[in-house]
Amino acid sequence: MNKILSIIFLCICSSFANAAFTLDSTRYIYDEGQQSVSVTINNDSGHKYGGQVWIDNINKNDEQVFFSPSPMVFKLNPKQSQIVRIVNINDDLPKDRESLFWLNVQEIPPAAKGEGSSLSLAINSRVKLIYRPAVLKNGRDDAENSIKIINSGADTYLQNTTPYYFAISEVKVNGKLIALDGDVKDKLGKFAPFSKVSLGKINSSDKISITAFNDYGVATNYNLTRSK
């Protein structure tokens, strides 16, 4: 039984390492007033694949539909590309801050030929889709510099004082990388506007720096300042 599970695990790891589809970006910014955003999907495999695209609200309880992809379903020949256009169909979104969505691109693998059972994995690539109101268009560059360090009780927090979403991948204290639990990593990976995240107990004299990804997926380091 353990041997079977190990084989399945290796197959899954191999499939993720050799996903057929790749996207032209790790995140997409939808500026208010823009007609659409184009997503280029490449089939890097040697086989014909189907594909399906949809957008999830970050709040799973929100059933409103804000974006529509076209086409939603497609077929893609080996070494070919498909352009999917994302259109905003409902602009009932906050104008004083960004809104975050998940763009999903799922592979539909070809049916296995020949006799016998086979395991086909439908790999789903999920990346960020950020809606940016027009009034925020020109203030995004290096807005991470506005993240503040605050102390509340025994804990130290990172406070996002801006209307932008940030993608923080690392936190260092006095130049040394600190371990973050899963929940903190998740929150910092999509650090919401006007929110704060606890880093636990850190001395008030310690220096804190972060690594964050910008709109283009480029990692940049920032030295943060403490609120007085």
Same domain, 194 and 215: yes
Same domain, 191 and 164: yes
pLDDT digit string, tens, across residues 25-37: 999 999 999 999 9
Same domain, 42 and 87: yes
- Does residue 3 belong to any structural domain of this protein? no
Tokens of 140: 């995004």
CA atoms within 13 A on the CB side of 80: 12
Residue range of the domain that includes 216: 143-226
- Does residue 148 belong to any structural domain of this protein? yes
pLDDT digit string, tens, across residues 74-90: 999 999 999 999 999 99
pLDDT digit string, tens, across residues 60-77: 888 999 999 999 999 999
Domain with 130 in it: what CATH number?
Answer: 2.60.40.10
Mean pLDDT, residues 91-114 taken together:
92
- Does residue 1 belong to any structural domain of this protein? no
| Nearest-angstrom CA–CA distance, 70 and 84 | 5
Nearest to 222 by CA among 180, 166, 178: 166
* Predicted local confidence at residue 5, as pLDDT: 40
| Nearest-angstrom CA–CA distance, 50 and 48 | 7
- Does residue 56 belong to any structural domain of this protein? yes
pTM for the full model? 0.87
* Predicted local confidence at residue 4, as pLDDT: 44
Q: Give the total number of structural domains in the chain.
A: 2
Q: State the alpha helices, DSSP H only, in the chain.
A: 2-17, 182-189
Same domain, 51 and 106: yes
Q: Output the CA angle 168-58-212, nearest 5 degrees.
A: 10
- Does residue 79 belong to any structural domain of this protein? yes
